[in-house]
Structure 1
Amino acid sequence: MNKEEVLAYITPKTAEFEGFSSVVYKCPAGYDTIGYGRNIESHPLSQREREQLQNGEISKEVAMEWLKKDLEQRYYLACDFAWFRDLDNTARAGAVVDMIYNLGLSGFKRFKKFIESMNKRDYIKAVMELEDSAWFNQVGRRAKEISKMIQMGV
Structure 2
Amino acid sequence: MSTTNPNFDVLRAYIAGNEGYRTSVYTDTQGNKTVGIGFNLQQSGAQKQIENLGVNYQQLCSGQVVLTNGQVDSLFEDSVNNAIQGAQAMVSNFSRLVPARQIVVVDMVFNLGESKFSGFHQMIAALEASNWDEAATQMLNSLWYDQVGERGQRDVGSMKLGALLPMANNLS
Under TM normalisation by the shorter chain, which class is it?
Answer: 0.7 to 0.9
In the TM superposition, residue 38 of structure 1 has moved relative to its aligned partner by: 0.2
| TM-score normalised over the length of structure 1 | 0.88
Residues 73-112 of structure 1 aligned to structure 2 (within 5 Å): 73-80=82-89, 81-87=91-97, 89-112=98-121
Whole-angstrom distance in 2 between the partners of 1:74 and 1:90: 15
The letter of the residue matching 2:53 is E
Whole-angstrom distance in 2 between the partners of 1:134 and 1:120: 23
**In the alignment, does 2:46 pair up with 1:44?**
yes
Residues 17-36 of structure 1 aligned to structure 2 (within 5 Å): 17-36=18-37
CA contact (8 A) 1:23 1:35 kept: yes
- Post-superposition Cα deviations, 1:103-128, rounded to whole Å, max 9, x if no partner, equal 00011011111111001010011101
The alignment yields a C-alpha RMSD, in angstroms, of 2.0
In the TM superposition, residue 58 of structure 1 has moved relative to its aligned partner by: 1.5
Match of 2:155 in 1: 146
SS in 2 for 1:33: strand
**Structure 2 gap segments, 5+ residues each:** 164-172
**In the alignment, does 2:67 pair up with 1:58?**
yes
| Identity among equivalent pairs (%) | 23
- Greater relative contact order, per chain length (Cα 8 Å cut-off, separation 6+): 1
- Post-superposition Cα deviations, 1:81-107, rounded to whole Å, max 9, x if no partner, equal 3121332x1111011111001000011
Aligned pair count reads: 152
Whole-angstrom distance in 2 between the partners of 1:12 and 1:76: 18
Q: Which has the larger radius of gyration?
A: 2
- Post-superposition Cα deviations, 1:21-68, rounded to whole Å, max 9, x if no partner, equal 221122121211101110021141423224397x52013343133212
CA contact (8 A) 1:7 1:71 kept: no
**Structure 1 gap segments, 5+ residues each:** none
| TM-score normalised over the length of structure 2 | 0.79
Whole-angstrom distance in 2 between the partners of 1:108 and 1:17: 17
